[in-house]
Structure 1
């Protein structure tokens, strides 16, 4: 019996790459996938290449298209969304269209620094953009990182996480995104360089420099510490986009001092939260140096975006408007049990108030809602063909929800 061969690429029939046979031709699984991508415009082929499955170019979404995607999931923060959209567009244009560059021109990476209070959407921005670009994303907490050789995570371990997120595909990982949260927590305590070892502050910043800029990093395939007997993987970080985020508490005071405003004293005027958020938007690189980031690291985070504290109105929009809005999710869960769920306007405002009081930002909304809805969800099947209305009193836990029988 003759061996079945793909008529398109010449591959043999295997369990991992099975071949479909027809009357006059045979095609393997890989070629079917490549054909699907070509028909859907996801891959534009290099006609001069012998390997027809290798992409020459990938369709890159424009900044406006990227912002539109972010608008579906994140309320407000227009400036930050624009900065991130432009940075991502330029970054992937630099990777996938480098053939259009003249040989004497080199484009640098557009790494991003996001500054904003907790729960303002820094992580969600990175997660949403990576999801729709279909690139791997690794999220690391800067507070767990230490300089190589000390207890804690090596800085290079964040690259290992990216390779794991890419399913072990080094090539895919090399054009992924790394989000480093709590970057402000590794600030050094003063502007002067420390004469003693600062293994979790300035030391981590120094260790981050080479991977953020772009370097060949040797990483253990399964993470953890490097061992001499272990075969290491080599990853080039030149095309990995780094997004760093942090709350930077106290940065407003540094900006105030620079502007000559009183921070303490009899003439100090208490500013509103709106004024404070406007102040953060005026941040400059020297303010970040004063805060404790080293100039070399700031120089590698070329684009700075500030996020505003979420207002009460924004909280209500977050609850109801995005594609993955919590209220929409609960309505769908109730529908599956043939129960109609409705929230009164006052109830939504009270939910927003509770989240603001707890100072947990938008991420605190889910835990508040879960607590309020627990007893109702427990008895949900018995409310079949009924309508449940959540009032302000239900949110405050002073009354039960209204239950109305639906017209059949």
Structure 2
């Protein structure tokens, strides 16, 4: 079996010695041993940047591996997960492997735009891959941003958040991910350029151009407004992956008009809700320009991935299947107090139906479950040795949970 260094992830090569622990499940190559010795005892490598060793694991990832990780946490959205996996893979291949092929061709950065309803998994995908790759991520809400000089947050504060996520390590921050949520909320007021200042719409989009494209940006180290007496930190955004997301409510009507479907009137074609949601997959750049996103910004968001609205079956899967599924979390909470939680299939379907009615997507499932579980969790410490059964009537508030005494108490 080929030994792989547990620290830098490099496989053993001929002539390279490995340090092995007693259990023979962890290995350290001689290069990492030397670097650790120098780091601790001083010498020429005392200030060596050991954070770059994490890059070795990123170098060996594949799109399939990334999608498998996303499949463990995000239900459905196969097309978007593939697009995101390929985008992240190509991005880090561009950073770490571009010089493997010796020629004059330079690979450009491919930023990503997610379009999908609220609670469909846009933010979760970015968080999941950032956690898996152990890279810093900054998630910000575009609605709080304004053009420089006006009340609100400066666009550069996004990079301050990224630097804070990287624990102040500038090199690590320059290889991180920035997720700008609610991009649709900063669409300009009309297709024509406004005579008055649109400081929280078009102004923010113009300010985003510089940092998304790739440039050296001066940022205030502690966030807040720029002041002349502050010392700025310079961050190069060339290798930062920007992922933008938004629900883009009303985009389907714009697509409808483009493909020649009547939006209003007696002769409009009757389509199901699912067919209407699938129209988002037909989105083109012109549709987003009509929506209010400026062409210059769209030109810097090269990959457009659309997400489907979640149906009832998807909601039930979200409750039960992912690694950190909501139901699994509640089962663990009950197990800690010596009780066992059982939720029947009809109850799960009812919870899913309520989430769809509220139009809050997957994130609405948690609040519904909290409402259902509140009273029973209040009494949970006294329910050791009981099975707690949740039925459809419990979800509807017609009955209380069924308590069944276990025959044998688990130790």
Q: TM-score range by the shorter chain?
A: 0.7 to 0.9
Deviations 1:282-311 (A, max 9, x none): 101111111111111001000000000000
- 2:116 maps to which residue? 116
Q: Distance in 2 between matches of 1:119 and 1:37?
A: 45
CA RMSD across the alignment: 2.0
Note the C-alpha offset of 1:249.
0.6
- 2:350 maps to which residue? 350
Q: Distance in 2 between matches of 1:403 and 1:195?
A: 66
Note the C-alpha offset of 1:188.
1.1
Note the C-alpha offset of 1:101.
3.9
- 2:229 maps to which residue? 229
- 1:260 maps to which residue? 260
Check 1:307–1:393 CA distance in 2 against 1; reply closer, same or farther (3 A cut).
same
- 2:96 maps to which residue? 96
User: Are 2:292 and 1:295 equivalent residues in the alignment?
Assistant: no
Note the C-alpha offset of 1:208.
0.4
User: Are 2:151 and 1:151 equivalent residues in the alignment?
Assistant: yes
Deviations 1:82-101 (A, max 9, x none): 00000000001111112214
- Structure 1 segments, 4+ long, off by >2 Å, are 31-38, 51-60
Normalising by the residue count of structure 1, what TM-score does the alignment of the two structures yield? 0.87
Normalising by the residue count of structure 2, what TM-score does the alignment of the two structures yield? 0.86
Check 1:247–1:33 CA distance in 2 against 1; reply closer, same or farther (3 A cut).
farther
User: Are 2:309 and 1:304 equivalent residues in the alignment?
Assistant: no
Note the C-alpha offset of 1:35.
4.1
Residues 277-288 of structure 1 aligned to structure 2 (within 5 Å): 277-288=277-288
8 A Cα contact 2:94 2:107, kept in partner? yes
Deviations 1:91-125 (A, max 9, x none): 01111112214351111111000000011111101
- 2:238 maps to which residue? 238
SS at match of 2:238: helix
SS at match of 1:235: strand
Q: Distance in 2 between matches of 1:207 and 1:250?
A: 25
Unaligned runs of 5+ in 2: 1-28, 37-47
Deviations 1:134-161 (A, max 9, x none): 0001011111111111110111110011
Note the C-alpha offset of 1:37.
11
SS at match of 2:282: coil
8 A Cα contact 2:187 2:292, kept in partner? yes
Deviations 1:146-203 (A, max 9, x none): 1111110111110011001111111100000000001011111222222321111111
Residues 49-60 of structure 1 aligned to structure 2 (within 5 Å): 55=53, 57-58=56-57, 59-60=59-60
User: Are 2:73 and 1:73 equivalent residues in the alignment?
Assistant: yes
Residues 117-132 of structure 1 aligned to structure 2 (within 5 Å): 117-132=117-132
Residues 131-150 of structure 1 aligned to structure 2 (within 5 Å): 131-150=131-150
- 2:161 maps to which residue? 161
8 A Cα contact 1:342 1:388, kept in partner? yes
Deviations 1:238-269 (A, max 9, x none): 00000000000111011110111100111123
8 A Cα contact 2:261 2:269, kept in partner? no
SS at match of 2:304: strand
Deviations 1:344-377 (A, max 9, x none): 1000000001100111000011111011101111
Q: Distance in 2 between matches of 1:281 and 1:36?
A: 53
Q: Distance in 2 between matches of 1:64 and 1:109?
A: 20
- 1:362 maps to which residue? 362
Note the C-alpha offset of 1:52.
9.9
- 1:174 maps to which residue? 174
- 1:273 maps to which residue? 273
Check 1:191–1:135 CA distance in 2 against 1; reply closer, same or farther (3 A cut).
same
- 2:64 maps to which residue? 64
8 A Cα contact 1:60 1:89, kept in partner? no
Q: Distance in 1 between matches of 2:247 and 2:349?
A: 25
8 A Cα contact 2:145 2:200, kept in partner? yes
8 A Cα contact 1:156 1:219, kept in partner? yes
- 1:316 maps to which residue? 316
Unaligned runs of 5+ in 1: 1-30, 39-50
